[in-house]
């Protein structure tokens, strides 16, 4: 599980630093976007997704305030 956490942090950093890809275990994975513009990466059966700033939730509010949130 620790390995997945490290990979998630690497994806998060790449996603919020404007990267187009993230390298995990010497393989490049694309940072894709939904039609809404929300970024995501699929890795090992998991989908890492940035928080939608337009949601009216507490998490959406935090994202609008500049917090970097990924699920």
In a domain, 52, yes or no: yes
In a domain, 56, yes or no: yes
pTM value is 0.85
The one-character DSSP state at 53 is T
Query: In angstroms, what CA-CA distances link 42 with 25, 39, 54?
Result: 14, 10, 22
The C-alpha angle with vertex 29 and arms to 28 and 35, in degrees rounded to 5, equals 145
- 12-39 per-position pLDDT tens digit: 999 999 989 999 989 999 999 999 899 9
**Residue 30 exposure: Cα atoms within 13 Å on the Cβ side:** 3
In a domain, 69, yes or no: no
Give how many domains the chain has, as a whole number. Answer: 1
On whether the CB atoms of residues 63 and 52 are closer than 8 A, the answer is yes
pLDDT, position 1? 54
The domain containing residue 11 runs over which residues?
2-64
> Which residue reads 């509010």 in tokens?
61
């Amino acid at each position: 599980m620790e390995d997945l956490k490290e990979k998630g942090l690497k994806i998060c950093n790449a996603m919020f630093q404007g990267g187009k890809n993230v390298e995990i275990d010497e393989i490049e994975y694309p940072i894709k976007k939904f039609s809404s513009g929300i970024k995501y990466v699929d890795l090992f059966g998991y989908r890492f997704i940035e928080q939608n700033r337009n949601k009216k939730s507490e998490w959406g509010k935090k994202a609008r305030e500049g917090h970097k949130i990924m699920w």
